A and B are shown apart, each in its own frame.
Chain A
Amino acid sequence: MSGRAYLGWFLGVVVTAVVAMVAFNAFADAYLLSTPKGKSLQTVSGFERVLKPAWLDSIKPDTVFAGSSRMREGFDPTLLDPALHLHSFDYGLSSISPYEARRLIQDSAAQPSVRAIFVSMDAFASTAAVARAGSGFDELRLAVTASGQPTPRRSLWLFTTRYLSGGALGMHALSLYLLAQLKSGQPASDRPDLFTAYSRMTQTGFRKDLAFRYGRQMAWSAPARREFNLALDALCNTGVRAYLFFPPDHFAMIARYMANNADGLLSFKHEVLHDVQRHNVRCRGKVSLFDFLTLNDLTRETIGPAGSNSYIDLIHFRPPIGVRLARRMLGNNDLGIDLTAAHDPDNEIDRLKNDVAAWRAAHPEIQPSGVAPRPEADKED
């Protein structure tokens, strides 16, 4: 065979595949961003590091919910937007590192349309010394570089992300499949088998998850704290209002955090509060800090035979709870503590010790002393 014929076949295969891929991705992208049901895809795992930076750029939201998989699962714009009159975007990432959390906040703050950012503080809770371990996290797609400068040639990178990447191909195919499974007018909440953010923790799941996360702590390290302060710096001179919160993990889990490293958790909360207070003194862009990681109506839920109303598992709450949390942070005082408005916020934080003692006394069966600690294996939070 001649070199020319070889080239003809070679290029024919490449060009055909590329044209087909671009056409499919362009069609899928346009459809997903225009159909109302498409918003619920933001709660599905897999899209985070592939398409979310491009979606953020296209959707131009006024409100961003950024952070870990707690945010990804818990805040569905399909529910939030009509309930709170928002144009929101779920920027939650699985297995987020403190470095990534900072970069997402920088990215969100650099979008001209964004007016408010909600962030769950567990994204910065990392005792690992590595504050910068994120697999496949591609910063070229973000609006700003790590030093806060506009990302060079960003539109080119977004174009290739959207239309020329294998990740986009896979995620677009998955999206179309998921949406095709919904009947006309059927919301994502009706299909928890597909949209797992709407599934419910069962009694069995509760016990298994407690054993699974038995050794877990919530604390942070010096590098993680540095990342948090860099994130605050990104908000300092913007008109963006930030709402930070300690997430409402189920109290069985909070009790484990306290059993495993009470000092670490309490220091984490006090230090975040201190950093936020210092930020609010010197910066134009103000930050509110809420504490839902307390004993409250939500976190003390007893799981009935029909499963949990609020939780997917011990740390992930369901999207209706996300609406409740957002409403609370925007002014409806029904849950948790607004630490930035509290009279004695440090004391409010320290009350957790009493809450844990009370909860343990009331639920001796949930903390069986015979359960052996096991190493943490999951990264999905």
Chain B
Amino acid sequence: MPFNSYPYIAFLIFAVGAFLLLEAYFPRARRPYLLLLSYLFYAWWRTDFILLLVGSTIVNYTIGSEITRRHAKGWSTHVLLLAGLAFNLGLISLFKYDDLFVGTANALFGTGFALPHFFLPLAISFFTFEQISYLVDASQGKTRLYSFLDYALFVAFFPHLIAGPIVRYNDLIPQFHESRDTQTRDTDIAAGATLFTIGLAKKTLIADNLAPFADAIFGSAQHGVALGPGDAWLGTLFFAFQIYFDFSAYTDMALGSACMFGIRLPFNFNSPYKAASIIEFWRRWHISLSTFLRDYLYISLGGNRQGSVRRYVNLMITMLLGGLWHGANWTFMLWGGLHGTYLVINHAWRNVAGRFGWRPPENLAWASHAASVLITFAATTFAWVVFRSPDLASAGNVMRGLVGGGSSHLVSFSPLAAGALVVLFAVVWFAPNSMEILWAYRPALEPPRGTSQVRDIGRWRWQPSRRGAIAYGALCVGAMLALSNLSPFIYFQF
């Protein structure tokens, strides 16, 4: 069930309530209970795909356990690891990329294979990646052997199951065994409920109100309407803000939900539009995915250990595959390619600037930073056009509109639209984010090394108070009032 729905809110209240009882009177039942809840949560969409989730869990646990045992004895684990990777990549290829591969083969070689059109199981990209990370960690001796129950709960724990953050075995399983005192429990629930409320408000009050405009404009582009500059710019900017608030909302709601059970999920989102470079953008946007790609793909390819050229090639490969991870469409790969290109340029620029000691003068540091933020925003927003477009022709249509190529007037650039954009820019560039607001209570795991850290916002930090409770309660009610239009999270499709 989607986080932004009444059924989920009712489910969460029931789940937390019963968990508190178990925690107090029967703590051994907490993990089986959470696993059962998680499977119920997944079954809300399609009951039959539970079998796929459970089957994938059993196979990976069996292989991972054997890898751990063999590694402890100093035996080779390569064959088992390859078998595990083949199983996971085969599964995701079968269900997610079947049509893309067959369709591309038909187009390239003139074959006439029928497209399989398999139904895409929800969350397959996420639980597959998480299990791949487990197998790789096990082959490197980084994992302990836990019970199947622990492992199954690591894979299926419902707050992260559908759209992340991508969790690591070693980060999550030990937390299932921790107990908390009454005071910590109360604070966890208070902080979790507050974080969930912030996420719900971002989703229903901001992202969902931008979606119709972005959808109408990109839909028109898909149907061949020659977009005018006003439409193209508004559609592009509205989508840039929609995906920002949509994904940020999802992350807050996932982390808030987990926090109520005393579980901290990975830090995943840290005001990415404040980034002053593409390198920094990827340290702030979907951090659990970017660190996964860094640790399991980029470094495995050799990272930066074999010279600059090889590093840039590795970056491009990583970003192309990272793009393709988002969906079975070449537009996602192109989006990844754009970001790969940006990263290569960014790294090359840093090298050159470092070699020649280029730095902005002290008195222009602020202006230089502002220009960098603006350029980074423009680059990522340009890439969103490709990401959002269903095909390359639509993306080209929108891009032509951005430079004045068409003449449509689907959306008028009203004072309301202008005011909304000003407010949105102010929020994403200057307002504290939800992690900064709640960081005193650590609602997430510490940011991974090499990513952006959490800024101290002083008196804006959240702390339990009557005024805060009433304000966040009112925000929660306001956000719930907008729940009648159920709009799925963008990242649910991945």
Asked whether A14 and B477 contact (CB < 8 A) given A9-B470, A132-B219, A135-B212, the answer is yes
Does B225 touch A at the CB level, under 8 Å?
yes
**Can you list, as one digit per residue, whether each of B470-494 has a CB less than 8 Å from chain A (1) or not (0)?**
1011101110111111100000000
Chain B, Cβ-Cβ closest to A133: B216
B486–A138 CB distance below 8 A: yes
The contact string, 1 if C-beta is below 8 Å from chain A, for chain B 194-214, is 100000000000000000100
Q: A129 at the A/B interface (Cβ < 8 Å)?
A: yes
A160 at the interface (CB under 8 A from B): yes
Is the C-beta of A50 less than 8 angstroms from some C-beta in chain B? yes
- Given A2-B464, A130-B219, is A161 in contact with B484 using a C-beta cutoff of 8 Å? yes
Given A2-B186, A3-B186, A165-B481, answer yes or no on A130-B7 (Cβ-Cβ < 8 Å): no
Partner of B464, one of A1, A135, A223: A1
| Complex partner residue of A13 from B464, B474, B485, CB under 8 angstroms | B474
Q: Check A128 for interface membership: any CB of B closer than 8 A.
A: yes
How many angstroms from the CA of A46 to the CA of B468 in the assembled complex? 34
Contact, CB under 8 Å: A13 / B187: no
Partner of B484, one of A6, A7, A165: A165
- The listed residue (A1, A4, A129) touching B225 by CB distance below 8 A is A129
Asked if A326 is an interface residue, CB under 8 A from chain B, the answer is: no
Contact flag A13-B484 (CB < 8 Å), given A3-B464, A128-B220: no
Chain A nearest CB from B211 CB (Å) reads 9
Chain A positions within 8 Å of B185 at CB level: 3
Q: Which of A120-177 contact B (CB under 8 A)?
A: 128-133, 135-136, 138, 140, 156-157, 160-161, 164-169
Most chain B CB inside 10 Å of its own CB: which residue of A1, A9, A11, A140: A9
Give A377 to B414 CA distance when docked, in angstroms: 12
A129 to B218, CA, bound (A): 12
Given contacts A10-B472, A133-B220, contact A164 B187 (CB under 8 A): no
- B190: chain A residues at CB < 8 Å are 3-4, 6-7, 10
Please, how many angstroms separate the alpha-carbon atoms of A166 and B483 in the complex?
8
Residues on the A chain within 8 Å of B212, using CB:
135-136
Interface centre among B6, B219, B485 (most CB of A within 10 A): B485
Q: Is A182 an interface residue (CB 8 A)?
A: no
A129 touches B477 (CB 8 A): no
| Cβ B464 vs Cβ A166 within 8 A | no
| Chain B CB within 8 A of A17 CB | yes
B224 at the interface (CB under 8 A from A): yes
B224 partner residues in chain A, CB cutoff 8 A:
129
CA of A138 to CA of B193, assembled, Å: 27
Task: Report Cα–Cα, A18/B477, bound state, in Å.
Answer: 7
A1-B464, A130-B225 in contact; A157/B220 too (CB < 8 A)? no
Binary contact readout B416-439 vs A (1 if CB under 8 angstroms, 0 otherwise): 000000000000000000000000
**Given A1-B464, A7-B189, A140-B486, are A160 and B223 neighbors across the interface (CB < 8 Å)?**
no
Contact between B476 and A14, CB atoms less than 8 A apart: yes
Is A373 in the interface zone, CB < 8 Å from B? no
- List residues of chain A with CB within 8 A of the CB of B410: 128, 130
Residues on A with C-beta less than 8 A from B189 are 3, 7
- In the assembled complex, which residues on chain B have CB atoms less than 8 Å from the CB atom of A5? 464, 466, 469
Complex Cα gap A11–B476 (Å): 10
| Residues of B close to A132: CB separation below 8 A | 219
Number of chain B residues whose Cβ lies closer than 8 Å to a Cβ of chain A: 43
- Which chain B residues (443-464) contact chain A, with CB distance < 8 Å? 463-464
Chain A contacts for B478, CB-based, 8 A: 166
The chain B residue sitting closest to A1, CB to CB, is: B464
- B24-54 vs A, CB cutoff 8 Å, 1 = contact: the mask equals 0000000000000000000000000000000
Contact residues in B for A136 (Cβ distance below 8 Å): 212, 485
1/0 contact trace for A10-30 toward B, CB 8 Å? 111110011001000000000
Contacts of B480 in A (CB 8 A): 14, 18, 164
Q: Is the interface of B mostly helix, strand, loop or mixed?
A: helix
Q: Is the CB of B473 within 8 A of A169?
A: no
Interface assignment of A375: CB less than 8 Å from any CB of chain B: yes
Q: How many angstroms from the CA of A167 to the CA of B186 in the assembled complex?
A: 34
Return the CB mask of B215-236 against A: 1 if under 8 Å, else 0: 1100110011100000000000
Whose C-beta in chain B lies nearest to the C-beta of A11? B473
Q: How far is the CA of A14 from the CA of B6 in the complex (A)?
A: 13
Which of these, B465, B470, B484, B485, contacts A164 with CB under 8 Å? B484
Chain A residue, CB-CB nearest to B409? A375
Structural contact, B193 and A10, CB atoms closer than 8 A: yes
Q: Closest residue to B211 on the A side, CB-wise?
A: A135
Interface centre among A10, A132, A223 (most CB of B within 10 A): A10
Q: In the assembled complex, how far is the CB of residue A52 from the closest CB belonging to chain B, in whole angstroms?
A: 13
Of the candidates A4, A17, A168, A375, which one forms a contact with B477 in the assembled complex, judged by CB atoms under 8 Å apart?
Answer: A17
A135 closest partner in B (C-beta): B212
Q: Which residues of B contact A8 (CB under 8 A)?
A: 469
B residues in contact with A2, CB < 8 Å:
183, 186, 464
Contacts of B225 in A (CB 8 A): 128-130
- A169 to B6 alpha-carbon distance, docked (Å): 16
The chain B residue sitting closest to A221, CB to CB, is B223
Cα distance, A136 to B7, chains bound together (Å): 20
Cα distance A1–B224 when bound, in Å? 58
Q: Which of B183, B216, B469, B470 has the most CB of A within 10 A?
A: B469
Closest approach, in angstroms, between the C-beta of B290 and any C-beta of chain A? 33
User: Which of B7, B476, B484 is A166 in contact with, Cβ under 8 Å?
Assistant: B484
Of all chain B residues, the one with the shortest Cβ separation from A4 is: B186
What residues of chain A lie closer than 8 Å to B186, measured between beta carbons? 2-4, 7
Contact partners of B193 in chain A: CB under 8 A: 7, 10
Are A130's CB and B220's CB within 8 A? yes
CA distance A161 to B6 in the complex (A): 11
The answer to whether B473 and A50 touch across the interface, beta carbons within 8 angstroms, is no
Chain B residues closer than 8 Å to A135, beta-carbon distance: 212, 216
Q: How far in angstroms is the closest Cβ of chain B from A136?
A: 6
A8 and B483 CA atoms in complex are apart in Å by 23
Considering the chains assembled together, what is the distance between the CA atoms of A309 and B344 in angstroms? 71
Quick one: CB contact mask for A34-47 with B, threshold 8 Å, 1 for yes? 00000000000000
| Chain B residues, CB < 8 A from A133 | 215-216, 219-220
- 28 contacts across the A-B interface (CB closer than 8 A): A1-B463, A1-B466, A2-B464, A3-B183, A3-B189, A4-B190, A6-B466, A7-B190, A7-B469, A8-B469, A10-B476, A14-B473, A18-B480, A128-B410, A129-B225, A130-B225, A133-B215, A133-B219, A133-B220, A135-B212, A138-B485, A138-B486, A157-B486, A164-B6, A164-B480, A166-B481, A167-B485, A377-B412
| 7 extra A-B contacts, CB within 8 A, seeds A4-B190, A6-B465, A14-B473 | A2-B464, A6-B466, A10-B472, A13-B477, A129-B224, A165-B481, A165-B482
- On A, residues with C-beta under 8 Å from B are 1-14, 17-18, 21, 50, 128-133, 135-136, 138, 140, 156-157, 160-161, 164-169, 223, 375, 377
